[in-house]
Structure 1
Amino acid sequence: MGLDLSPLWISISTAFLATLITSFLGIVVAYKISNYNGIFKGLIDGILTLPLILPPTVIGFFLLVLFGKNGPIGDLLGIFNVSIIFTWSATVIAATVVSFPLMYRTTRSAFEQIDNNIISAARTLGLSEMKIFLKIAIPLSWPGIIGGVVLSFARAMGEFGATLMIAGNIPGKTQTMPLAIFFAVEGGDMTKAYLWVAIIVVISLTMILLLNYWSEIQLKLMGKRGI
């Protein structure tokens, strides 16, 4: 019997959609927080970064409480006869939550490294905040943003604990590669486990090489521009 490749496609599709969501949210939130100097900045930053520190099973528990049948979000969705638990959507939610802090922290650091004089000059020239964000902040922070995207994708693809808690291990539906590895080892099928481990290592190494290549290109471009 050949190897069932559904965990590969589930992992890639989950990581891809989760990365799209975290990229959009991470960039917007990171820019807002980097320009916010209120007294609650530390608290907000801590809450946004919390999934990076908490054990994945704890994150999965919170998601289970929120999206469960008796949870606030699950109860609301139940009105429309929609259930999230133990579906592919649950794998995307879990991957999004655990990967968001990486995108947020990396992008926020990139935004905070922008020279404030450039932003001040743009405001003096009459540019709106939206134009400053799109035409100045994003281009100047692009290397950091790309780094955040790569890290988020890798984290989303490797998510295990939260996914198991909220999505379960349903072959062909919610079984990702990390779950396939765990249950292959648990079932004594070391050959299958080795194959999935090899696939994940190859994908992860490829992403690291692409990130390094991108960084080298950016450094060369910045050198040519005299930055």
Structure 2
Amino acid sequence: MGDLSPDDWTAIALSLRIAVVATLASLPFGVAVAYALARWRFPGKALLNGLVHLPLVLPPVVTGYVLLLWFGRRGVFGPALADLGIVLSFRWTGAALACAVMGFPLMVRAMRLSFESIDRRLEAASGSLGASPLWTFVLISLPLAIPGIIVGAILAFARSLGEFGATITFVSNIPGETQTIAAAIYTDTQAPGGDAAALRLTLVSIVISLGAVMASEFVQRRVEARLAAHG
């Protein structure tokens, strides 16, 4: 760790910042979409499910190019966003958007499985006691789905840390602005004598990702134990 350069530390800090923002920004949408897919029946449900999981099967470069077409300076929504002072292309905020899109399928899948595992009789009992669907969701469904929500958030966070293809296509590889750990590793492998620096960042990436997964397991077990104790 002591051999890391200032540029390496910048890439690490930027990666963590982007991953946190991507996870927190997509969390409410993930919960809403996961609940809708788990509990509701509506026209286009299969299409929505397909669109949610599309980033998992598309080449990341394709996802990044689509983001560029939509949110680039000359994209569909780019000029309107620029008028509001929001510029995503070639900015760290755009990297956060790309990471959120790539991590969203993993987030939704974990949360959906959690919602589907809830006994519907509990929700029905809440409704029979006069609770509205919204209050049933807030008081019954959401608390019981917390373990899955935590797992989904951690998976999206970890996926964001490792994102490369969509990010570099949408926001390029700009040191100090969009150069994440993955992009920095790529840069080091292309430079003569950069193998040692790439190896150090690879080890850092492994440690952070492994720590995130272990933390999610620990938190999930603690939450499940508390829910069982109060059940």
Relative to the length of structure 1, the TM-score reads 0.93
Q: CA deviation at 1:193?
A: 0.3
Structure 1 spans left out of the alignment, 5+ residues? none
Structural mapping, 1:166-205, within 5 Å: 166-188=170-192, 189-205=194-210
* Equivalent residues of 1:147, 1:211 under 8 A apart: yes
Alignment of 1:64 onto 2:68 = yes
Structural mapping, 1:1-227, within 5 Å: 3=5, 4=7, 5-80=9-84, 82-188=86-192, 189-221=194-226, 224=229
Deviations 1:82-130 (A, max 9, x none): 5321111111110111111111111111111111111111111111222
The one-letter amino acid paired with 2:148 is: G
Deviates more, 1:24-33 or 1:156-165: 24-33
The one-letter amino acid paired with 2:217 is: N
Q: Structure 2 vs 1, CA of residues 144 and 81 (structure 1 numbering), >3 Å: closer, same or farther? A: closer
* Equivalent residues of 1:22, 1:152 under 8 A apart: no
* Equivalent residues of 2:161, 2:209 under 8 A apart: no
Q: Percent identity?
A: 35
* Equivalent residues of 2:147, 2:224 under 8 A apart: no
Name the CA distance, whole Å, in 2 between partners of 1:49 and 1:21: 18
Name the CA distance, whole Å, in 1 between partners of 2:125 and 2:227: 21
Q: Structure 2 vs 1, CA of residues 79 and 207 (structure 1 numbering), >3 Å: closer, same or farther? A: closer
* Equivalent residues of 1:68, 1:74 under 8 A apart: yes
Structure 2 spans left out of the alignment, 5+ residues? none
* Equivalent residues of 1:59, 1:162 under 8 A apart: yes
Name the CA distance, whole Å, in 2 between partners of 1:31 and 1:131: 14
Q: Structure 2 vs 1, CA of residues 19 and 2 (structure 1 numbering), >3 Å: closer, same or farther? A: closer
Deviations 1:134-178 (A, max 9, x none): 111111111111110110100011110111011111111110000
Residue 77 of structure 2: SS of its match in structure 1? helix
Q: CA deviation at 1:181?
A: 0.3
Deviates more, 1:149-158 or 1:23-32: 23-32
Matched pairs, number? 226
Q: Structure 2 vs 1, CA of residues 195 and 44 (structure 1 numbering), >3 Å: closer, same or farther? A: same
The one-letter amino acid paired with 1:202 is: V
Q: CA deviation at 1:2?
A: 5.8
* Equivalent residues of 1:69, 1:78 under 8 A apart: yes
